[in-house]
Amino acid sequence: MPSGTEVGLLAARKITRLVGARPDAVLGLATGSSPLAIYAALAAHVREGTLDTSRVSAFALDEYVGIPADHPESYASVIDREVTVPLHLDPERVQVPDGRATDLEAAGRRYEEAIRAAGGVDLQILGIGANGHVGFNEPTSSFASRTRIKTLTERTRADNARFFASPDEVPTHCLTQGLGTIMDARSLLLVAQGSQKAAAVAAAVEGPVTSMCPASILQHHPHATVMVDEAAAADL
């Protein structure tokens, strides 16, 4: 597949088909740069009138702990800016883990309950970290994990520093859906672009299923699709 834009177009087509067949679909949203081409292509479908999102619900994968919800790089802000507004989603139907909760364990349990109450996720969009993380499930995360507080690795904090004014500003903790939560989605769609993801993509798709590469658990999902550009496919 030649380019990241094309990955976005193809992935968006799959999602638009799903929502066409199931107008009240529940989507799982990922942040990071990887899915942005999908959201741009979906927004185009909405503008063209080929995608009606009025009954769609969505759950984000994760959120930083310790930054205000209205900080431009909180995932609540990113999802609002990149997804809810351009895709005309009903904000009442879009949820992001509450990284500002005083009781984060309870916030994790509430999030799990909200996903269950919505009937579960039909299609979960995923990016992949250079260390194989999905959501913020860093290497060694349990395959059975549910939404919970996690410490970000130095690698992930360094990778995400580009979104902040200084590296010190990158939060140290997050609230993330667990690998068990992610694996409960009825289908998974992992997207990756660029050579910096090639090793992680190869480990996830062709390596052993190991918690050292959290994305490798996708090999056990009955409906997982991986869409990558040429550069991210280089090690396959």
- Which CB sits closer to ligand GLP, 50 or 192? 192
Q: Nearer Cβ to ligand GLP, position 19 or 60?
A: 60
99 binds ligand GLP (CB under 6 A): no
**How many whole angstroms separate alpha carbon 147 and alpha carbon 34?**
22
128 versus 201: smaller Cβ distance to ligand GLP: 128
Contact flag: residue 185 with ligand GLP (CB under 6 A): no
Q: How many Cβ atoms sit within 10 Å of the Cβ of residue 184? A: 18
Q: How far is the CB of 84 from ligand GLP (least distance, A)?
A: 17
Give least dist CB 31 to ligand GLP, A.
Answer: 5
* Residue corresponding to tokens 């009937």: 119
- Binding flag, residue 213, ligand GLP (CB under 6 A): no
Residues labelled catalytic: 62, 131, 133, 138
**Helices 4-21 and 36-48: angle between axes, nearest 10 degrees:** 50
Give the count of residues interacting with ligand GLP (CB under 6 A). Answer: 14
Comparing CB distances to ligand GLP, the nearer of 128 and 226 is 128
Note whether 26 binds ligand GLP by CB under 6 A.
Answer: no
Q: How far is the CB of 52 from ligand GLP (least distance, A)?
A: 27
**Shortest Cβ distance from residue 23 to ligand GLP (Å)?**
26
Binding mask 46-85 for ligand GLP (x = CB under 6 A): ---------------xx-----------------------
50 or 189, CB closer to ligand GLP?
A: 189
Binds ligand GLP by CB under 6 A, chosen from 4, 8, 28, 32: 32
Tell me which of 16, 31, 74, 181 binds ligand GLP, using CB under 6 A. 31
Q: Which of residues 110-169 bind ligand GLP (CB under 6 A)?
A: 127-129, 135-136, 156, 160
Neighbours of 162 (CB within 10 A): 9
What is the signed CA dihedral for 25, 128, 112, 89, rounded to 10 degrees?
-40
Residues found near ligand GLP in the complex (CB under 6 A): 30-34, 61-62, 127-129, 135-136, 156, 160
